[in-house]
Amino acid sequence: MALERTKNFAAVERMGKEFAEDFRLLEDIGWSEYEARETYVLTMPEPELRKLLWRLRDEAAQVLIEHGDEAESRRRDAETNRRFQIGHQTCEKVSGNLDSPRRE
């Protein structure tokens, strides 16, 4: 862990908060990869949720860009890429809904 390796406490604090947000979101969307529900209710406060979705979107985009540089890597990690692509698009869509003034 970064804490033991570098003693970078600021980075560790940021990572800890991000993990806490991730875990909180998983409370809503379920922990299993094989969820059978059709719809999910996201119960996090809107500003927190928006921030989280933007972070996940940016992280997914970063992975997709990195992979885009290496065609061989992309072929090998096609499934991983597909997952990040879906994640990126979903975060974009959900955060777009949050930003919409017509949202109820």
| Span near another protein by CB under 8 A; candidates 31-39, 67-75, 79-87, 88-96 | 31-39
Q: At what angle do helices 46-68 and 78-99 cross, to 10 degrees?
A: 150
Q: Which residues, including other chains, have CB under 8 Å from residue 56's CB and lie 6 or more apart?
A: 87, 91
Shortest Cβ 32–another protein spacing (Å): 5
Find out whether 2 and 16 touch, Cβ atoms under 8 Å: no
Nearer residue to another protein within complex by CB, 23 or 40: 23
Q: Which positions touch another protein (CB under 8 A)?
A: 1, 3-4, 7, 9-10, 12-13, 16-17, 19-20, 23-24, 26, 31-34
